[in-house]
Amino acid sequence: MSKSKLILLLAILFSTFRGVAQPEKVKYLPYIDQRRLHLGFSLGVHTQDLVFTQNGYTTEEGENWFAEIPNFSPGFAVGLVADLAFTEQLNLRFTPSMYFGSKTVKFREQNTKERLTQDIKSNYLALPVNLKYSSRRVNNYRPYMMAGVSPMLDLSKRKETPILLKRFDTCIEIGLGCDIYLPYFKLIPELKFSFGLFNLLEKNRKDLKDPGMIKFTESLDKIKSRMVVLSFYFE
């Protein structure tokens, strides 16, 4: 067999193998991405975290307190989605959401090992605006990446606690997901990471009736928020 015939045979076999390995499937909702506006809702879970900047503050009694969040608690999220298509692969999304969760902060005194625990419950109203960049559709799947900004308002009430967090924050969000085309709707799982930009530590503690509690606020310079969110969008 000549070299040219061998190359031709290998090319035919490779093409046949590709056709068997990647069969063309029936495409659900073949025209849904031609719409400029998509509406839907989302359900999800998330974890809330805080990043502490310690300053080594020492009280008159010689105490040095440090704060940390050793464990994460899952929370619940629910929201709406409005998706506007700019181009075939670029979309602008507005996804107002509510996040219901909590964080357990543990304070530790360096010398005596004395400990104090504070549970912080946060109910965030978030108004994220994101850009979504999608790959081309393959059968009934379409992966994408997203990034954007999310103003957030904490609607929970608390006072006279060791530390107090400000209600307003703004976060940078990045993530990835995949459009899954089903017979009657799109299911879109998405994993995103949120990073707070502002210092949430409230230094003005006029709410404290016990002067001894101020040492926990004074031991910190700043607190910033972080969050990991797994959402399931239905469009």
Tens-place pLDDT, residues 157-176: 777 899 999 999 999 999 99
Closest-CA residue to 122 (of 229, 233, 225): 225
Tens-place pLDDT, residues 90-132: 999 999 999 999 999 999 999 888 999 999 999 999 999 999 9
The residues, any chain, with a CB within 8 Å of residue 217's CB and separated by 6 or more, are: 162, 163, 164, 201, 202, 203, 205
Across 32-89, the runs of DSSP E, i.e. the strands, are 37-54, 65-68, 74-85
Architecture label for domain 28-234: Beta Barrel (2.40)
CA distance 169 to 197: 7
| 8 pLDDT above the threshold of 80 | no
Tens-place pLDDT, residues 18-57: 444 446 678 899 999 999 999 999 999 999 999 999 998 9
| 139 pLDDT above the threshold of 80 | yes
CA distance 91 to 73: 32
How does DSSP classify residue 138?
A: B
Q: Are 135 and 157 in contact (CB under 8 A)?
A: no
pTM of the model: 0.85
Query: Between residues 79 and 8, which one has the greater pLDDT?
Result: 79
Residue 102 is encoded by which pair of tokens? Answer: 């909590």
The pLDDT of residue 210? 86
Cβ count near 186 (within 10 Å) = 20
Across 112-163, the runs of DSSP E, i.e. the strands, are 115-126, 129-134, 141-154
